[in-house]
Amino acid sequence: MFGLTFKQLAYAILFLPIALALLLKTPFAMPYRVALALIPSSIACIFMFTNLPKKGMNWFKWLQWKEFHLMDKKMVCA
């Protein structure tokens, strides 16, 4: 659909209601509502068109591995 992959569509479906709610349901003036709606829209674009989520997961896994590996070495040395 629109040349997007399923994962990209999932991110769009996830963030679209948030952006629309901020744009249409908040009691602020229009410039503030647009600025607020741009925040989840920007995050969605970052997730859809970059590999930032994958890099984040790899970083998280590395931190877990590092912590486990250091605990393993401490147990062997004791």
pLDDT digits (tens, 9 = 90+) for 15-66: 999 999 999 999 999 999 999 999 999 999 999 999 988 998 999 998 888 7
List, in sequence order, every beta strand (DSSP E) within 1-78. Answer: none
Query: What separation in angstroms does the CA of 14 have from each of 9, 11, 21, 61?
Result: 8, 5, 12, 24
The residue among 61 and 69 whose pLDDT is bigger is 61
Q: Which of 56, 57, 42 is nearest to 11 (CA)?
A: 42
pLDDT for 77 beyond 60: no
pLDDT for 70 beyond 90: no
Q: In sequence order, what are the residues at sequence separation of 6 or more whose Cβ sits closer than 8 angstroms to the Cβ of residue 23?
A: 33, 34, 36, 37
pLDDT for 78 beyond 60: no
Residue 26 DSSP label: -
Residue 55: the pLDDT is 93
Residue 64: the pLDDT is 85
Residue 3 DSSP label: T
Distance, in Å, from the CA atom of 54 to the CA atom of 62, rounded to the nearest integer, reads 12
